[in-house]
Amino acid sequence: MNIQQLKYFIEIANTNSLSAAARNLFVTQPTLSLALKKMESELQTALFTHSNQPFQLTKTGNHLYEKGQVIVNDFEQLIVDIHAMSDDSNKEKTPIHFGLPTLFSMQFMKEISHYLAEHPHIDLIIKQDGSPHLQAMLDNKELDIGLVSFPNLYPESLSFEVLETSTKGYNPYVIIPETNPLAQKKELTFKDLKGQRFSSLTTNFMLGRLLLDRSREVGFEPNVVLYNDDIQVLIHSLKQNDSICILPIEYQNVSISDGLKWIPLKDKYQFFPIGIAMRKDYPLTQDITDFIEVLKKN
Protein backbone atom coordinates (compact mmCIF):
# COMPACT_ATOMS: atom_id res chain seq x y z
CA MET A 1 0.00 0.00 0.00
CA ASN A 2 1.34 3.43 -0.94
CA ILE A 3 0.33 7.06 -0.35
CA GLN A 4 -1.47 7.32 -3.71
CA GLN A 5 -3.63 4.27 -2.98
CA LEU A 6 -4.37 5.67 0.47
CA LYS A 7 -5.51 8.96 -1.10
CA TYR A 8 -7.79 7.05 -3.48
CA PHE A 9 -9.30 5.09 -0.59
CA ILE A 10 -9.94 8.22 1.49
CA GLU A 11 -11.67 9.99 -1.41
CA ILE A 12 -13.92 6.98 -2.04
CA ALA A 13 -14.82 6.97 1.65
CA ASN A 14 -15.53 10.72 1.60
CA THR A 15 -17.81 10.56 -1.45
CA ASN A 16 -19.31 7.04 -1.00
CA SER A 17 -19.01 6.79 -4.77
CA LEU A 18 -16.47 5.55 -7.28
CA SER A 19 -17.69 7.93 -9.97
CA ALA A 20 -17.61 11.02 -7.73
CA ALA A 21 -14.20 10.07 -6.34
CA ALA A 22 -12.86 9.54 -9.86
CA ARG A 23 -14.07 13.00 -10.93
CA ASN A 24 -12.52 14.66 -7.88
CA LEU A 25 -9.22 12.84 -8.38
CA PHE A 26 -9.16 13.28 -12.19
CA VAL A 27 -8.73 9.55 -12.78
CA THR A 28 -10.93 6.89 -14.37
CA GLN A 29 -13.31 4.67 -12.42
CA PRO A 30 -11.45 1.49 -13.49
CA THR A 31 -8.25 3.00 -12.08
CA LEU A 32 -9.93 3.54 -8.71
CA SER A 33 -11.62 0.16 -8.75
CA LEU A 34 -8.33 -1.63 -9.49
CA ALA A 35 -6.49 0.34 -6.78
CA LEU A 36 -9.17 -0.56 -4.22
CA LYS A 37 -9.05 -4.25 -5.17
CA LYS A 38 -5.25 -4.26 -4.83
CA MET A 39 -5.47 -2.64 -1.37
CA GLU A 40 -8.06 -5.12 -0.13
CA SER A 41 -6.05 -8.01 -1.57
CA GLU A 42 -2.81 -6.81 0.04
CA LEU A 43 -4.47 -6.12 3.39
CA GLN A 44 -6.56 -9.30 3.13
CA THR A 45 -9.68 -7.54 4.38
CA ALA A 46 -12.76 -5.80 3.00
CA LEU A 47 -12.61 -2.02 3.41
CA PHE A 48 -16.18 -1.29 2.30
CA THR A 49 -19.56 -2.99 2.60
CA HIS A 50 -22.53 -2.50 0.25
CA SER A 51 -25.26 -4.13 2.36
CA ASN A 52 -27.47 -1.04 2.86
CA GLN A 53 -25.88 1.57 0.63
CA PRO A 54 -22.69 1.53 -1.43
CA PHE A 55 -19.20 2.16 -0.06
CA GLN A 56 -19.88 2.12 3.67
CA LEU A 57 -16.72 1.54 5.70
CA THR A 58 -16.19 -1.77 7.44
CA LYS A 59 -14.57 -1.83 10.90
CA THR A 60 -11.11 -2.27 9.37
CA GLY A 61 -11.92 0.31 6.68
CA ASN A 62 -12.89 2.86 9.32
CA HIS A 63 -9.65 2.22 11.21
CA LEU A 64 -7.62 2.71 8.04
CA TYR A 65 -9.62 5.85 7.19
CA GLU A 66 -8.94 7.48 10.57
CA LYS A 67 -5.24 6.63 10.70
CA GLY A 68 -4.73 7.13 6.96
CA GLN A 69 -5.98 10.73 7.00
CA VAL A 70 -3.30 11.66 9.52
CA ILE A 71 -0.57 10.00 7.45
CA VAL A 72 -1.74 11.62 4.18
CA ASN A 73 -2.07 15.06 5.79
CA ASP A 74 1.42 14.85 7.31
CA PHE A 75 2.88 13.63 4.02
CA GLU A 76 1.20 16.41 2.00
CA GLN A 77 2.35 19.04 4.49
CA LEU A 78 5.90 17.75 4.16
CA ILE A 79 5.66 18.10 0.35
CA VAL A 80 4.29 21.65 0.73
CA ASP A 81 7.17 22.54 3.04
CA ILE A 82 9.72 21.13 0.60
CA HIS A 83 8.16 22.99 -2.35
CA ALA A 84 8.13 26.21 -0.36
CA MET A 85 11.86 25.89 0.05
CA SER A 86 12.45 25.41 -3.65
CA ASP A 87 11.53 28.91 -4.88
CA ASP A 88 15.10 29.80 -5.68
CA SER A 89 15.79 26.85 -7.97
CA ASN A 90 19.11 28.25 -9.18
CA LYS A 91 20.61 28.44 -5.72
CA GLU A 92 22.95 25.57 -5.01
CA LYS A 93 21.86 23.53 -2.01
CA THR A 94 23.89 21.60 0.53
CA PRO A 95 23.03 17.88 0.45
CA ILE A 96 22.64 15.84 3.62
CA HIS A 97 22.15 12.10 3.11
CA PHE A 98 19.99 10.91 6.01
CA GLY A 99 18.86 7.37 6.82
CA LEU A 100 16.03 6.25 9.12
CA PRO A 101 13.63 3.29 9.44
CA THR A 102 9.99 3.71 8.38
CA LEU A 103 8.77 3.67 11.99
CA PHE A 104 10.93 6.66 12.88
CA SER A 105 9.94 8.55 9.72
CA MET A 106 6.38 8.65 11.06
CA GLN A 107 7.46 9.61 14.57
CA PHE A 108 9.94 12.32 13.51
CA MET A 109 8.09 13.74 10.48
CA LYS A 110 7.16 16.97 12.31
CA GLU A 111 10.77 17.66 13.34
CA ILE A 112 12.15 16.90 9.87
CA SER A 113 9.58 19.21 8.26
CA HIS A 114 10.44 21.98 10.72
CA TYR A 115 14.15 21.64 10.00
CA LEU A 116 13.60 21.92 6.25
CA ALA A 117 11.42 24.99 6.72
CA GLU A 118 14.18 26.67 8.73
CA HIS A 119 17.00 25.54 6.41
CA PRO A 120 15.89 26.16 2.81
CA HIS A 121 19.48 25.81 1.57
CA ILE A 122 19.57 22.12 2.63
CA ASP A 123 18.71 19.27 0.27
CA LEU A 124 17.78 16.47 2.69
CA ILE A 125 18.06 13.17 0.83
CA ILE A 126 16.21 10.54 2.89
CA LYS A 127 16.82 6.79 2.72
CA GLN A 128 14.37 4.51 4.56
CA ASP A 129 15.42 0.97 5.48
CA GLY A 130 16.24 -1.25 8.44
CA SER A 131 18.86 -0.15 10.96
CA PRO A 132 21.51 -2.80 10.05
CA HIS A 133 21.31 -1.84 6.37
CA LEU A 134 21.44 1.88 7.18
CA GLN A 135 24.48 1.33 9.40
CA ALA A 136 26.19 -0.50 6.53
CA MET A 137 25.42 2.45 4.24
CA LEU A 138 26.93 4.84 6.79
CA ASP A 139 30.03 2.66 7.04
CA ASN A 140 30.29 2.70 3.22
CA LYS A 141 29.97 6.52 3.22
CA GLU A 142 26.67 6.38 1.34
CA LEU A 143 24.97 8.29 4.19
CA ASP A 144 26.07 11.23 6.32
CA ILE A 145 23.87 10.70 9.36
CA GLY A 146 21.30 8.16 10.52
CA LEU A 147 18.56 7.80 13.12
CA VAL A 148 18.86 4.10 13.89
CA SER A 149 18.44 1.53 16.63
CA PHE A 150 21.22 0.05 18.71
CA PRO A 151 23.48 -1.89 18.82
CA ASN A 152 26.28 -0.19 16.90
CA LEU A 153 27.42 -2.81 14.37
CA TYR A 154 30.43 -0.74 13.21
CA PRO A 155 32.00 0.71 16.39
CA GLU A 156 35.34 1.38 14.67
CA SER A 157 33.84 3.72 12.05
CA LEU A 158 30.53 4.93 13.52
CA SER A 159 29.65 6.89 16.64
CA PHE A 160 26.23 6.68 18.30
CA GLU A 161 24.49 9.22 20.52
CA VAL A 162 21.53 7.94 22.53
CA LEU A 163 18.33 9.92 21.99
CA GLU A 164 16.59 10.98 25.21
CA THR A 165 13.42 12.23 23.54
CA SER A 166 9.74 11.25 23.69
CA THR A 167 10.71 8.51 21.23
CA LYS A 168 13.51 6.59 22.95
CA GLY A 169 13.25 3.32 21.04
CA TYR A 170 10.87 0.45 20.42
CA ASN A 171 9.61 -2.69 22.14
CA PRO A 172 9.40 -6.03 20.27
CA TYR A 173 6.06 -7.84 20.60
CA VAL A 174 4.93 -11.17 19.21
CA ILE A 175 1.87 -10.89 16.93
CA ILE A 176 -0.21 -14.07 16.99
CA PRO A 177 -3.55 -15.12 15.47
CA GLU A 178 -6.18 -15.40 18.21
CA THR A 179 -6.68 -19.06 17.23
CA ASN A 180 -3.09 -19.90 18.22
CA PRO A 181 -2.86 -21.39 21.77
CA LEU A 182 -0.01 -18.96 22.54
CA ALA A 183 -2.50 -16.09 22.20
CA GLN A 184 -3.69 -16.88 25.74
CA LYS A 185 -0.27 -16.00 27.20
CA LYS A 186 0.37 -12.62 28.85
CA GLU A 187 4.02 -12.63 27.75
CA LEU A 188 6.27 -14.88 25.70
CA THR A 189 9.93 -15.90 25.62
CA PHE A 190 11.86 -17.32 22.69
CA LYS A 191 11.62 -20.79 24.24
CA ASP A 192 7.83 -20.48 24.00
CA LEU A 193 8.15 -19.86 20.25
CA LYS A 194 9.82 -23.18 19.41
CA GLY A 195 7.80 -25.12 16.82
CA GLN A 196 5.98 -22.05 15.49
CA ARG A 197 5.84 -20.85 11.88
CA PHE A 198 7.23 -17.34 11.39
CA SER A 199 6.62 -14.44 9.04
CA SER A 200 9.66 -12.23 9.50
CA LEU A 201 11.49 -9.09 8.55
CA THR A 202 14.77 -9.77 6.74
CA THR A 203 18.17 -9.29 8.35
CA ASN A 204 18.15 -5.72 6.99
CA PHE A 205 16.21 -5.07 10.21
CA MET A 206 17.27 -5.60 13.83
CA LEU A 207 14.20 -7.73 14.57
CA GLY A 208 14.94 -9.96 11.60
CA ARG A 209 18.35 -10.63 13.09
CA LEU A 210 16.90 -10.99 16.58
CA LEU A 211 14.63 -13.86 15.52
CA LEU A 212 17.49 -15.85 13.99
CA ASP A 213 20.10 -15.13 16.66
CA ARG A 214 17.98 -15.62 19.78
CA SER A 215 16.15 -18.71 18.46
CA ARG A 216 19.48 -20.38 17.76
CA GLU A 217 20.80 -19.35 21.18
CA VAL A 218 17.90 -21.10 22.93
CA GLY A 219 18.31 -24.20 20.76
CA PHE A 220 16.10 -24.19 17.68
CA GLU A 221 16.13 -23.09 14.05
CA PRO A 222 13.11 -20.88 13.33
CA ASN A 223 10.74 -22.10 10.61
CA VAL A 224 10.40 -18.89 8.56
CA VAL A 225 7.66 -19.30 5.93
CA LEU A 226 7.77 -15.69 4.72
CA TYR A 227 10.42 -12.98 4.61
CA ASN A 228 9.20 -9.47 3.78
CA ASP A 229 10.20 -5.96 4.85
CA ASP A 230 6.70 -4.52 4.36
CA ILE A 231 5.05 -4.36 7.79
CA GLN A 232 1.50 -4.54 6.45
CA VAL A 233 2.29 -7.57 4.29
CA LEU A 234 3.72 -9.37 7.32
CA ILE A 235 0.78 -8.58 9.59
CA HIS A 236 -1.82 -9.61 7.04
CA SER A 237 -0.01 -12.85 6.21
CA LEU A 238 -0.27 -14.27 9.72
CA LYS A 239 -3.76 -15.77 9.65
CA GLN A 240 -3.36 -17.02 6.07
CA ASN A 241 0.02 -18.65 6.78
CA ASP A 242 -0.82 -19.74 10.33
CA SER A 243 2.33 -17.92 11.38
CA ILE A 244 3.53 -15.45 14.01
CA CYS A 245 5.72 -12.35 13.73
CA ILE A 246 7.94 -10.13 15.88
CA LEU A 247 7.40 -6.40 15.35
CA PRO A 248 7.55 -3.18 17.40
CA ILE A 249 4.36 -2.60 19.41
CA GLU A 250 4.56 1.01 18.17
CA TYR A 251 3.17 -0.21 14.82
CA GLN A 252 -0.07 -1.40 16.40
CA ASN A 253 -1.71 2.04 16.19
CA VAL A 254 -1.11 2.35 12.45
CA SER A 255 -1.93 -1.19 11.39
CA ILE A 256 -5.06 -3.26 10.89
CA SER A 257 -4.74 -6.36 13.04
CA ASP A 258 -8.22 -7.72 13.72
CA GLY A 259 -8.10 -11.29 14.94
CA LEU A 260 -4.51 -10.92 16.13
CA LYS A 261 -2.98 -10.53 19.59
CA TRP A 262 0.10 -8.40 20.38
CA ILE A 263 1.96 -10.07 23.24
CA PRO A 264 5.08 -8.66 24.99
CA LEU A 265 8.33 -10.49 24.24
CA LYS A 266 10.21 -11.12 27.49
CA ASP A 267 13.86 -11.21 26.52
CA LYS A 268 17.20 -9.62 27.23
CA TYR A 269 16.57 -7.65 24.03
CA GLN A 270 13.01 -6.59 24.89
CA PHE A 271 13.81 -2.93 24.21
CA PHE A 272 15.88 -1.40 21.39
CA PRO A 273 17.04 2.16 22.11
CA ILE A 274 17.55 4.52 19.20
CA GLY A 275 20.27 7.03 18.57
CA ILE A 276 21.89 9.37 16.12
CA ALA A 277 24.61 7.60 14.15
CA MET A 278 27.43 9.38 12.30
CA ARG A 279 30.67 8.46 10.63
CA LYS A 280 33.61 9.32 12.84
CA ASP A 281 35.36 10.94 9.85
CA TYR A 282 32.36 13.11 8.90
CA PRO A 283 32.74 16.83 9.72
CA LEU A 284 30.17 18.13 12.21
CA THR A 285 28.96 21.20 10.33
CA GLN A 286 26.56 23.80 11.73
CA ASP A 287 23.79 22.43 9.50
CA ILE A 288 24.28 18.92 10.89
CA THR A 289 24.42 20.30 14.44
CA ASP A 290 21.14 22.15 13.85
CA PHE A 291 19.56 18.99 12.44
CA ILE A 292 20.59 16.95 15.47
CA GLU A 293 19.16 19.59 17.83
CA VAL A 294 15.83 19.57 15.98
CA LEU A 295 15.63 15.76 16.18
CA LYS A 296 16.21 15.98 19.92
CA LYS A 297 13.05 18.08 20.29
CA ASN A 298 10.83 15.10 19.40
- Sorted by where each begins, the domain ranges of the chain are 3-81, 97-164+274-295, 172-270
b/e map 98-134, b = 16+ CB within 10 Å: bbbbebbbbbbbebbbebbeebbebbbeeeebbbbbb
CATH class of this structure's domain 3-81: mainly alpha
User: Looking at the DSSP assignment, which residues form a beta bridge with residue 176?
Assistant: 261
Identical fold for domains 3-81 and 97-164+274-295, yes or no, is: no
Q: Which CATH number fits domain 172-270: 1.10.10.10, 3.10.180.10, 3.20.130.10, 3.40.190.290?
A: 3.40.190.290
Using the predicted structure, report yes or no on whether residue 86 has a pLDDT greater than 80. Answer: no
* Whole-structure pTM value: 0.66
CATH number for 97-164+274-295: choose from 3.90.79.10, 3.40.190.10, 3.40.50.2300, 3.30.460.10.
3.40.190.10
- Name 160's bridge partners: 277
Query: Residue 189: pLDDT band by 50, 70, 90 thresholds?
Result: very high
- Percentage, residues of the chain above pLDDT 70: 95
